[in-house]
Structure 1
């Protein structure tokens, strides 16, 4: 990649790493479902004028059913799950669990699209899931936390449900929305998420008005971490290819850990770092970004 693309690549990792910080600052005042709803609403409002300016609204309307499903799987459910999880676990831990998205994507593609991985990629799946087990073993308690009232195990499971949804969404998009302009998929999915979250979010809307910090954080979450991030991500896919764009997943936990430590006073433990490396190695192998020559041709 040329220097300009490298800058955009690092910038995207920094922006998506900040999404966990902004979710943490928002969810305490808003609650999980309202946080997710406002996030996708702001993102949709940001992306829709760009879509209309590009005159791609007709394409969106033609594929609205599939885009609605993608919106639920790729935004509504994951954003709500991560918001819920951040009430009980740290931003760093949730970001490391988010790094398993390509891992679940490879597993879903294998089971659904029959994209059978070679032996090297299967080894990556095993290593990645072993890293998840090791990382979350200390969070296996279903005893409610004294502060949040949420058991850490439920928070971890919520993160893993979110990453599984991302993996399903990737295969669904490949099967049903292949060839669509990237802005149509991005905007349509956010509009679908708005529709899916509207009623439950309004039902659970906080009784007291959230503070200014929460509002600023959630606007940044929608505009920067969703709207601008989508534009950068699709630019990377177009100019550097999907395989290279996918590697931004490896940068997100790094930035999230730094933000959490500096701005929220969260601890970075050796276990988190060690298991994070194991998960990222497994992810790199399972997606084919790294290949073991002596296993790559084996079936």
Structure 2
């Protein structure tokens, strides 16, 4: 991995880590639905513009079922779940729990795709579960009223990501990656639009809350996808997935610096267990970062 790719990887982790910050800034003011729907719709418009001006990858009408399934499980449901969780949980804790996605992915791949986990991967799954248990049982943020449901909501979101990942791998030959992201974003927009009709009228939103929603759509969704696919093209999918280990670092950093969040020893221990478990479950090997 050259210096430019390494910097892009760090930038992507910083952007996706900031998504939890922006959710904490927007959800308490606007509720969980408006930020999630706004993020999806703004992201879809951004990717649509990118498709016309730069990528030039057309959407295929015959793939609408794939777009709808990916839009539901990779975007609409997870974003709503994170919106529900952001009313209670800190940005730091959400970013750490987000790292369980590859752990769920290994379980889903084993059941759905028949990819049997190795002993090392099985130990990683167990370690990841222990890490979540430490966060849930001992971290101070998890003792707030409603935190249990909020944590469950985040875990549902990461499970949805895992389902979408296995589905995408199964049908990867039929859809270019950018087209899958672009099409699924429009599908998610269509799925979430009706929810806005039943959304209670929000109070007058602050400029910070509105700006946070725009940042979620333009930066954390649209621009991040372009950056992600550039990295996949340059260094390959496996090294790009190391962003999973960097996102909690920036999620915690932005939470502490910009939201005044505090983290205790239990948070650090739980985070370490989750990340080590994720590394084992995914077969992560830092010696292979430079290989495609």
Q: TM-score, normalised by structure 1?
A: 0.91
- Deviates further, 162-171 or 22-31: 22-31
Deviation at 1:139, TM superposition (A): 6.8
Deviations 1:90-117 (A, max 9, x none): 1100100001111111110011100111
- Deviates further, 181-190 or 243-252: 181-190
| 8 Å Cα contact 1:128/1:279 also seen in 2 | yes
Matched, 1:200 2:195: yes
Task: Provide the C-alpha distance between the structure 2 equivalents of 1:164 and 1:139, rounded to a whole number of angstroms.
Answer: 22
Task: Note closer, same or farther for the CA distance 1:219–1:205 as it changes in structure 2 (3 Å cut).
Answer: farther
Partner SS state of residue 57, structure 1:
coil
Q: How does 1:213-228 map to 2 (within 5 A)?
A: 213-228=208-223
Give the equivalent residue in structure 1 for 2:249: 254
Deviation at 1:179, TM superposition (A): 4.9
Report the number of matched residues. Answer: 285
Deviation at 1:270, TM superposition (A): 0.8
CA RMSD of aligned residues (A): 1.9
Matched, 1:175 2:174: no
Q: How does 1:231-270 map to 2 (within 5 A)?
A: 231-270=226-265
Deviation at 1:284, TM superposition (A): 0.4
Q: How does 1:1-299 map to 2 (within 5 A)?
A: 1-53=1-53, 54-59=55-60, 61-138=61-138, 145=145, 151-290=146-285
Task: Provide the C-alpha distance between the structure 1 equivalents of 2:114 and 2:101, rounded to a whole number of angstroms.
Answer: 18
Task: Provide the C-alpha distance between the structure 2 equivalents of 1:24 and 1:58, rounded to a whole number of angstroms.
Answer: 33
Deviation at 1:34, TM superposition (A): 1.5
Task: Provide the C-alpha distance between the structure 2 equivalents of 1:277 and 1:179, rounded to a whole number of angstroms.
Answer: 38
Task: Provide the C-alpha distance between the structure 2 equivalents of 1:78 and 1:127, rounded to a whole number of angstroms.
Answer: 24
Deviations 1:137-176 (A, max 9, x none): 147999973xxxxx11000000000000000000011112
Deviation at 1:133, TM superposition (A): 1.2
- Deviates further, 257-266 or 129-138: 129-138
Task: Provide the C-alpha distance between the structure 1 equivalents of 2:172 and 2:63, rounded to a whole number of angstroms.
Answer: 8
Give the equivalent residue in structure 1 for 2:290: none
**Structure 1, unaligned stretches of length 5 or more?**
146-150, 292-299
Deviation at 1:227, TM superposition (A): 0.5
Task: Provide the C-alpha distance between the structure 2 equivalents of 1:163 and 1:135, rounded to a whole number of angstroms.
Answer: 16
Task: Provide the C-alpha distance between the structure 1 equivalents of 2:223 and 2:197, rounded to a whole number of angstroms.
Answer: 26
| 8 Å Cα contact 1:29/1:206 also seen in 2 | no
Task: Provide the C-alpha distance between the structure 2 equivalents of 1:168 and 1:241, rounded to a whole number of angstroms.
Answer: 21
Q: TM-score, normalised by structure 2?
A: 0.93
Task: Note closer, same or farther for the CA distance 1:209–1:51 as it changes in structure 2 (3 Å cut).
Answer: same
Task: Provide the C-alpha distance between the structure 2 equivalents of 1:186 and 1:49, rounded to a whole number of angstroms.
Answer: 13
Deviation at 1:290, TM superposition (A): 3.8
Deviations 1:159-212 (A, max 9, x none): 000000000000011112435222201111111111111111331143423221
Give the equivalent residue in structure 2 for 1:148: none
| 8 Å Cα contact 1:142/1:154 also seen in 2 | no
**Structure 2, unaligned stretches of length 5 or more?**
287-292
